[in-house]
Amino acid sequence: MKRLQDKINEEGRVISAAVLKVDSFLNHQIDPVLMKEIGDEFADRFANSGITKILTIESSGIAPATMAGLNLGVPVIFARKRKSLTLSENLYTGSVHSFTKNETNDISVSKDFIDHNDVVLIIDDFLANGQAVLGLLDILKQAGASLAGVGIVIEKGFQNGGKMIRDRGIRVESLARIYSMENGHVEFYEEVKTI
């Protein structure tokens, strides 16, 4: 998605060869116009998949998932990282290790919102080592729900998550796929193919 790649080049900051900061439009401050375009793109790519629900993880996956849900006309569920007084029982739970934060969180979704009748699209902001997707897949397995595929806003293709998920036969649609962030410069797969 060219507009997303342009935004990454204009406003993203490479912190290291493995960390990209995009908090000016995705992870802290949200660009709603860009989020609508991202939601439209996911909806187009998964239009004929019979999706009944979208599942994401708090917090940075919520905006793109909500825009896709709006376009597809389906509810969006986000897995919570912390338990609350109102979400303490009747849960599907999984475990997710965050590459960026270097911490492991238990995630949970109420059993009231996903079941064996659902066809679910997983959407997340980043795909690096694939841990968030694996945690969400575990929740879908517990629910007996079907998977339509995985939509990722930014994939760090030089890390193993995308390959690991695709090797399971799962459809992954990444809107911006990064080949490298060496020397403080973001290089996308499309650019490498043309060289």
In terms of C-beta density within 10 A (0-12 exposed, 13-18 middle, 19 or more buried), how is residue 117 classed? exposed
Quote the pTM value: 0.93
What's the number of domains the chain is made of? 1
User: Could you give the CA distance from residue 9 to residue 7 in angstroms, rounded to a whole number?
Assistant: 5
pLDDT band, very low/low/confident/very high, at 104 (cuts 50, 70, 90): confident
What are the tens digits of pLDDT across the range 54-68?
A: 999 998 999 999 999
What are the tens digits of pLDDT across the range 142-160?
A: 999 999 999 999 999 999 9
Average pLDDT value over all residues in the chain: 93
What are the tens digits of pLDDT across the range 67-98?
A: 999 999 999 999 998 766 566 678 999 989 87
Query: What is residue 105's predicted lDDT score, i.e. its pLDDT?
Result: 85
Nearest to 187 by CA among 178, 152, 6: 178
What CATH number does the domain containing 181 carry? 3.40.50.2020
Query: What is residue 84's predicted lDDT score, i.e. its pLDDT?
Result: 63
Which structural domain range is residue 37 located in?
A: 2-194
HSE-up of residue 160 (Cα within 13 Å, Cβ side): 5
What are the tens digits of pLDDT across the range 168-195?
A: 999 999 999 999 999 999 999 988 765 4
What residue ranges in the chain does DSSP mark as E strands? 13-14, 20-21, 53-57, 76-79, 91-98, 103-110, 119-127, 146-156, 172-180, 187-188
Q: At residue 131, what is the residue type?
A: Q
User: Could you give the CA distance from residue 160 to residue 169 in angstroms, rounded to a whole number?
Assistant: 15
**Sign of the CA dihedral with 40 first, then 148, 108, and 143 last:** positive
